[in-house]
Structure 1
Amino acid sequence: MIRLESISKQNGKQIVFIEASATLQKGEKVGLVGPNGAGKTTLFRMVTGQEQPDEGQVSVDRGVTIGYFSQDVGDMAGRSAVAEVMEGAGPVSLVAGEMRELEAAMADPDRADEMDAIIERYGELQARFEDLDGYALDGRSREVLAGLGFSQEMMDGPVDALSGGWKMRVALARILLMRPDVMLLDEPSNHLDLESLIWLETFLKGYDGAVLMTSHDREFMNRIVGKIVEIDGGSLTTYSGDYEFYQQQRAIADRQMQAQFERQQAMLAKEIAFIERFKARASHAAQVQSRVKKLEKIDKVEPPKRRQTVKFEFQPAPRSGEDIVTLKNVGKRYGSRTIYDDLDFQVRRRERWCVMGINGAGKSTLLKLATGTVEPDQGSVSRGPSVRMAYFAQHAMEVLEGERTVFQTLEDAFPQAGQAPLRALAGCFGFSGDEIDKKCRVLSGGEKARLVMAMMLFDPPNFLVLDEPTNHLDMATKEMLIAALEQYEGTMLFVSHDRHFLAALSNRVLELTDDGIRTYGGGYTEYVARTGQEAPGLRS
C-alpha cells in the first residue's frame, strides 16, 4: 500500500534519512520507533505529501485513504465536540454539510423561485447520505467520544471550551470515525487516561485497516503492533514482531555487531603494528606493501549505533518513621459535588500505593489532600514528623524560572553539587549537549516535567507523591525513571496511566469506587489478577 524507496532527507544541517526503505502492507499494524528527533514526524509528513524526500520516492497505491493524527490539532471552534468529530468523517461529512446549506436555503424566502431545484438536489443528497450510513453517524461519533472519556455534556458542549488535551481526543476521534485504509497515529496515547487507553487498544486491534504509529507507552505498543520499523542514524530497519521482540532482536544484533567490530579492530591493530614495525626494513618491503593493500580493501565494520542512555546513581532517601500520612474521617466537596465523605486511609513506611479510579473519582484530590495542597472540609490529615515530601504535579513546572537555562536551574537548586554530577543528572533526564543551555521558557511540557523530576530525585525525599509522572516521557527516560525508583527505598503514593510503570513500582492498590475505597495488598499485577480488570469499570 505504502512504499518508501531509498529516501534521503536533510533538514538544515541534520541528515534525517540516507537511502532508507520500508513498506506498509494492507492491514498491518506497525510501530515506528527511534530516539527523539530521529525523524518519525518527518516520515509521517512525507507519507501524507506534506513534505517531499530530497531523493528517492514515497508511493501510495491509488485510491488508498489516509488519516493522520498529529500533536498539532489546529483550530477548533464554532461547533460542538460531536459536530467537530462528524466533520472529519470523510465523504459523508461533505454530503451532510451540503444538506445543511440546502436546509437553510429552503427556509429562505428570497430563494423561493429556486425551490424545485433545491428540493431535487436535497433528495439526491439524502439518498447518498443514506447509502453512506450517514444517519448512524451521530451515534457512531458519540460511541467513539464515549470510549475516549467524553460525557454527554462534553460531547454537546462547545469544542472551544475544551482544554488542549481534550481537543487532542476530539482530533483522534475524527480519525477513528473516518476509518481510512491507513491510520498514521503520532503519539495517540498522550493525554489519555488508562480507561480510554484500553478502549483505544481494543478499537485498533479490531480495526481492519493498516496502522503506522508511534507511542511512548510500551504496553500499548506491544498489544497492537506485529511489526516494528526503527529509525536510527538515517536508516530504516524492519523487525517482525511486537516491541518486546524488537528489543530482544536489537540487543542480539548489537552484541553480534559489537563482537564483530572488536574482532576486526584487534585484527587491524595487529596488521598496523606489523606495518609500523617493519616498514623501514627492505627485507620486509613486499610483506608490508601486501598488508597495506589488504587494509585498503577491507570493509570496515561500524560499531553498533548506541542510544545515549545515561545511568545515574541517586542518593539514598533518609529514613522516615513508620507512619507517613494518615487521613481520618476526611470529607471533601467541590461546590455541590461530594468527592470524599468520611474517608479513612493510611500510608506507612516503604508502601508504594498506586491510586486507581475512573475520571472524576478524586485521584488527584487524594494526592492534594495527602500533600496538604488542599485542606479537607472535615476530618484531619496528618504527616509523620520525620517525613520529607516531594510532590510532582503538572503545576510543579510553574516554579521554573523562564530566563534560567536547564543547567543554571540545576545549579541554583544544588549549588554545592559540582558540574560533573549535574551534567550526568541532566543527561539521564534527556538533556545532553547543547540542550542543557536551553532557557526554561522555550522548553516543551515534557522537557519541563523531566527537569522538575530530575530536581526532585537528585536529593531524594523519603515520601514521593507523583501525579502522572510519565506524561510526555519517551520510553528510554521512562525506563531510566523506573530503574531509579525501583532502587528508591522511600514511600510512594502515585497516579499513573502507564501499565508498565504501575506494574513495576506498586506494592499496594487503592481503588476509588462509588461505594467508597477498596484496598488491595500486592501491586497492580495482583490487582489485575484478582479483579479481572486492568482499570476500574473495565473488564479484561
Structure 2
Amino acid sequence: MIRLESISKQNGHQILFIEASAALQRGEKVGLVGPNGSGKTTLFRMITGQEHPDEGQVAVDRGVTIGYFSQDVGDMAGRSAVAEVMDGAGPVSVVAAELKELEAAMADPDRADEIDEIVAHYGEVQARFEELDGYALDGRAREVLAGLSFTQEMMDGDTGALSGGWKMRVALARILLMRPDVMLLDEPSNHLDLESLIWLEDFLKSYDGALLMTSHDRAFMNRIITKVVEIDGGALTAYARDYEFYEQQRALNEKQQQAQFERQQAMLAKEIKFIERFKARASHAAQVQSRIKKLDKIDRVEPPKRRQTVLFEFPPAPRSGEDVVSLKDVHKSYGGRRIYEGLDFLVRRRERWCVMGINGAGKSTLLKLVAGTAEPDQGTVAVGSSVRMGYFAQHAMELLDGEHSVFQSLEDAFPQAGQGSLRALAGCFGFSGDDVEKRCRVLSGGEKARLVMAKMLYNPPNLLVLDEPTNHLDMATKEMLIAALSQYDGSMLFVSHDRHFLAALSNRVLELTPDGVHHYGGGYTEYVARTGQEAPGLRG
C-alpha cells in the first residue's frame, strides 16, 4: 500500500534518513520507534505529502485513503465536538449543519411568515441527510466520542471551550470515525485517561485497515502492533512481532555486534602489531605488504550505537514518621458537584498508593488536598511528622519562566547551591552541555517535565505526590524513572494512565467509584487480578 524507496532527508544540519526503505502492507499494524528527533513525525509528513524526501520516493497505491492524527490540532472554535468529528466524513457534515440552522429557523418567532418555505426546504435537506446515512453517522460519532470519555454535554458544546487535551481527542475521533484504509497516528495515547486508552486499544485491534503509529506507552503499543519499524542512524529496520520482541531482538543484535566488533578489533591490533614490528626488515617485506593489503580490504564492523539515556538518581531521603498523611471525614465540592463526602484515608510510611477512578472521580482533587493546594470544605488533612513532600502537577510546567534558561531556573529554586552541584543535577535529568542554556519557552513537554522533576527532587522528599508524571516522557526516560522510583525509599501517592508504571511501582490501590471508595492491598497487578478489569470505568 505504501512504500518508502531509498529515501534520504536532511533538516538543516541534521541528517534524518540515508537511502532508507520500508513498506506498509494492507492490514499491518506497525509501531514506529526511535529516539526523540530521529524523524518519526517527518516520516508521517512525507507519507501524507506535507513534506518530500530529498532523494528517493514515497509511493502510495492509487485510491488509498489516509487519515493522519498529529499533535498539532489547530483551532476548533464555533462548532460542537460531534460536528467536528463528522466533518472528517465529508459532505454529510455540511448537510448536518444546514439541518441545525433550519431547525433554529423553524423555532424563530420572527420568521413565522416563512415557515412553509422553511419546512419544505427542511424536508429536502433531511432527505439528503438520510441518503448520506447521516443519522447513523451521528450515532457512530457519539459512540467514538463516548469511548474517548466525552459526556453528552461536551459532545454538543462548543469545541472551542475545551482544553488542548480534549481537542486532541476530538481530532483523534475524526480519524477513527473516518476509518480510512491507512491510519497514521502520532502519539494517540497522549492526554487519554486509562478507560479511553483501553477503549482505543480495543478499537485499533478490531480495525481492519493498515496502521502506523508512535506511542510512549509500551503496554498500549505492545497489545496492538504486529511489527516494529525502527529509525536509527538514518536507516529503517523492520522487526517482526510486538514491541517486547523488538526490545529483546535489538538487545541481542547489539550484543552480537559488540562481540563481532571486539573480535575484529583484536584481530586488527594483532595485524598492526606485526606490521609495526617487521616493516623495517627486508626479509619480511612481502609478508608486511600482504598484511597491509589484507587490512585495506576488510569491511570494518562498527560498534553498536549507544542510546543516550537519562539517569535519575535519588539521594537518600530523611525518614518520616509512620503516619505520613491522614485524611479524616473530608468533604469537598466544586460548585454543585460533590467530590467527597466523609472521606477517611491514611498513607503510611513506604506505602505506594496509586489512585484510580473515571474522569471527574476526584483523583487530582485528592492529590491537591494532600499537597495543600486545595482545602477541604469540612474535615482535616494532616501531614505527619518529619514529612518532606515533593508534588508534581501538570500546571507546574506552565509556571516555568519562559525567558529563563534551564540553569537559571535551577539557580532560582536553589540560590544556596553551588554551580557544580546544579550542573550535576541538570545532567542527571538529561540537560548536559549547552542544553542547560536553553530557554524554558523552547523546551519540549518532556524536557519541561524533567526540569520540574529535577527541581522537586534536589532536596529529596520522603513523600512523592505525582499527578500523571509520565505524560510527556519518552519511553527511555520513563523506563529510567521507573527504575529510579523502584529504589526510592519514601512513600508515594500517584495518578497515572500508564499501566507499566502502575504495575511496576504501586503496592496499594485506592479506587474512587460512584459506589464509594475502595482500598486494595497489593498493587495494580493484584487489583486487575481481583477485579478482572484494568480500570474502574470498565466494570459491567
| TM-score bracket for the superposition, by shorter chain length | over 0.9
Identify which range, 365-374 or 442-451, moves more after superposition. Answer: 442-451
Residues 183 and 212 in structure 2, CA contact (< 8 A), matched pair in contact too? yes
Q: 2: distance between equivalents of 1:41 and 1:225? A: 18
Aligned residue identity for 1:6: S
Q: Deviations over 1:273-314 (max 9, x none)?
A: 111222222222111111111111111111111211143432
**Deviation (angstroms), 1:71:** 0.4
Return the alpha-carbon distance in structure 1 between the equivalents of residues 495 and 79 of structure 2.
Answer: 33
Partner of 2:530: 530
Tell me the equivalent position of 1:353.
Answer: 353
Query: Relative to structure 1, is the Cα distance of residues 272 and 240 closer, same or farther in structure 2, using a 3 angstrom cutoff?
Result: same
TM-score normalised over the length of structure 2: 0.93
Q: Name the SS for the 1:313 alignment partner.
A: coil
Identify the residue that residue 521 of structure 1 maps to in structure 2: 521
**1:7-22 → structure 2 map (5 Å cutoff):** 7-22=7-22
**Distance of 2:64 and 2:127 partners within structure 1:** 26
Partner residue in 2 for 1:452 = 452
Structure 2 equivalent of residue 145 of structure 1: 145
Mapped contact 1:32–1:229 kept (Cα < 8 A): yes
Residue of structure 2 equivalent to 1:289: 289
CA positional deviation for 1:404: 2.5
- Is 1:60 matched up with 2:27? no
Q: Shift of residue 272 of structure 1?
A: 1.2
Equivalent position of 1:233 in the other structure:
233
After superposition, residues 295-310 of structure 1 pair within 5 angstroms as 295-310=295-310
Aligned counterparts, 1:174-189, within 5 A:
174-189=174-189
Q: How does 1:140-219 map to 2 (within 5 A)?
A: 140-219=140-219
Q: Is the 8 A contact 2:348 2:491 kept in 1?
A: yes
1:59/1:94 CA distance change after superposition, 3 Å:
farther
Structure 2: unaligned runs, 5 residues or longer: none
Task: Measure how far apart 1:250 and its partner are.
Answer: 0.3
Which string of whole-angstrom CA distances, capped at 9 and with x for unpartnered residues, describes residues 456-506 of structure 1? 234321000000100110000100100010000000000000000000000
Secondary structure, in 3 states, of the residue corresponding to 1:537? Answer: helix
- The one-character-per-residue Cα deviations of 1:165-224 (angstroms, maximum 9, x if unpaired) are 111010001000100000000000011011110111111111111110000000000010
Alignment of 1:81 onto 2:76:
no
Distance 1:122 1:213, change over 3 A: same
Quick one: distance in 2 between partners of 1:44 and 1:266?
Answer: 43
For 2:158 and 2:533, the matched residues in 1 are separated by 33
1:445 deviates by: 3.0
What is the RMSD of the two structures over their aligned residues, measured on CA atoms? 2.5
CA distance in 1, matches of 2:421, 2:209: 49
How far the C-alpha of 1:102 sits from its partner, in A, is 10
The answer on whether the counterparts of 1:314 and 1:459 sit within 8 Å (CA) in structure 2 is no
The match for 1:330 is 330
* Letter of the 2:522 counterpart: G
Aligned to 1:42: 42
CA spacing shift, 1:520–1:104, aligned 2, 3 Å:
closer
1:312/1:425 contact within 8 Å kept: no
Q: Deviations over 1:411-439 (max 9, x none)?
A: 44456766666545434433344322201
**Distance change >3 Å, CA 420–CA 60, structure 1 → 2:** farther
Q: Output the CA distance in 1 between the equivalents of 2:315 and 2:148.
A: 40
The amino acid of 2:356's aligned partner reads M
1:370 corresponding residue in structure 2: 370
* TM-score (normalizing by structure 1): 0.93
Instruction: Assess if the C-alpha contact under 8 Å between 1:429 and 1:477 holds in 2.
Output: no
State the distance in 2 between where 1:187 and 1:315 align.
Answer: 33
Answer whether contact 2:83 2:93 (CA < 8 A) is retained.
no
Question: Do the aligned partners of 2:407 and 2:437 also contact (CA within 8 Å) in 1?
Answer: yes
Secondary structure of the corresponding residue to residue 519 of structure 1: strand
Question: Could you say if the C-alpha distance between residues 346 and 19 of structure 1 is closer, same or farther in structure 2, counting changes exceeding 3 Å?
Answer: same
**Counterparts of 2:445 and 2:251, CA distance in 1:** 31
Q: Note if contact 1:194-1:497 (Cα within 8 Å) is conserved in structure 2.
A: yes
Amino acid at match of 2:386: S
Matches within 5 A, 1:103-502: 126=127, 130=130, 132-414=132-414, 422-423=422-423, 425-502=425-502
Match of 1:3 in 2: 3
Q: Percent identity?
A: 82
Quick one: distance in 2 between partners of 1:418 and 1:60?
57
CA distance in 1, matches of 2:143, 2:430: 39
The CA deviation string for residues 41-88 of structure 1, in whole angstroms up to 9 with x for no partner, is 000000001111111110000000000000001221211111111111
**Aligned residues between the structures:** 531
Q: Aligned letter for 1:535?
A: A
Quote the offset at 1:446 in angstroms: 2.7
Task: Kindly provide the CA deviation profile for residues 62-121 of structure 1, in whole angstroms up to 9, marking residues without a partner as x.
Answer: 0000000000012212111111111111354466578889999999x9xx9xx9xx98x9
